Amino acid sequence: MRLQKSTLFALYAVLELARENDRQMSTGDIAERYDISPHHLSKVMRQLVRSGLIQSVRGAGGGYRFSGNAKRVTLLDIIDLFEPSNPAVEGDEEDPAGATSVARALDSVRGEIDELTRATLQSITLRSLLKYAPAEVGEEAVAG
Amino acid sequence: MTEDNAVAIRNARPEDIDTVIRLDELGTGLAKPDYWHDIFAGYVRQPGAGRFFLIAEAAGAVVGFIVGETRIWEFGSPSCGWVFAVNVSPERREGGIGSHLLEAICERFRRSGVDTVRTMISRRDPLNLAFFRSQGLTAGPYIELERRLD
């Protein structure tokens, strides 16, 4: 599955923040850890704040904090904030081949794959993913 | 019998059947008494080798169950343990009972000489999908296929 950069950055950020209760990290901390653009990540963080998944913390030592439920929020919840709703059939309305039996059969196959992908992403909560992603050496250095 | 946080895991007994039928109906919305009578005959009353039906019990009440068996060369697969039913009383969920049940049946699978546990879940069943994911199960090497017989 190909994800847009923004989606991947959002997953990194939310998973980092959800790793521990009340963990606070700045955009710079997260960008440095994943070697990604802080400018691009800032836009992603603003969208995550609007969604209610994270909240900004003001003042010295501020940054962002996860404000969802890691046992409930799934990878799909985050991906759906940044990806088109159904890329497998995007643009089909203008495709004249869409009326043919071959095109319909291909649509059916793409639908199978899409449904399986969504079911998989919906089944993995942040807590489940983090359970199998142990903290790396030195990680405590930027933990809030 | 093993105990953890006042929940004990034991082998199912014939008298558990009514509670199992009720728990299953609560979880799935369907009553299947004939099915469970057949399962009890083959997994509880006269269990075959590699067949396990375990009960989670708290304060003398049945609060969950899990059923599975080891199978060999089915679908071309080397021996592995299959879990085909797991259920926890709705009011006792998120207390680790499902995890205890799964670990208990996995331990029995290990003692039976298998090193893989497998299950099959509807992709429209996010609750059970999320449970097994949380226990470390991921997509296996098989794809289930079907066709309507119209």
pLDDT digits (tens, 9 = 90+) for A115-131: 999 999 999 999 999 99
Residue B144 lies in a domain: no
Confidence of residue A75 (pLDDT cuts 50, 70, 90): very high
Residue B148 lies in a domain: no
* Number of domains observed in the structure of chain B: 1
Mutate to test the interface with B, among A123, A124, A127, A129 (most CBs of B within 10 A): A123
Half-sphere exposure of A120 (CA within 13 A, CB side): 11
Q: Provide the pairing of β-strand B80-88 with A54-57.
A: unpaired
Residue B145 lies in a domain: no
Closest-CA distance, A127 to chain B, in angstroms, reads: 8
Residue B130 lies in a domain: yes
What is the CATH architecture assignment of A5-142? Orthogonal Bundle (1.10)
Which range of residues forms the domain containing residue B115?
2-134
Mean per-residue pLDDT for B60-88?
A: 94
Q: Strand order of the sheet with strand A63-66?
A: A24-25, A63-66, A54-57
Mean per-residue pLDDT for A56-68?
A: 88
Closest-CA distance, A105 to chain B, in angstroms, reads: 15
Taking an 8 Å cut-off on Cβ atoms, the answer to whether B139 and A120 are in contact is: yes
Residues of B in contact with A111 (CB under 8 A): none
Find, among B93, B72, B71, B80, the residue nearest to B23 by Cα.
Answer: B93
A-chain residue closest to B143, CA distance:
A116
Is the predicted pLDDT of residue B17 greater than 70, yes or no?
yes
- Could you tell me what percent of chain A has a pLDDT over 70? 85
Mean per-residue pLDDT for B122-138?
A: 93
CATH number of the domain encompassing residue B111: 3.40.630.30
Is the predicted pLDDT of residue A58 greater than 90, yes or no?
no
Residues of A in contact with B124 (CB under 8 A): 119
Confidence of residue A99 (pLDDT cuts 50, 70, 90): confident
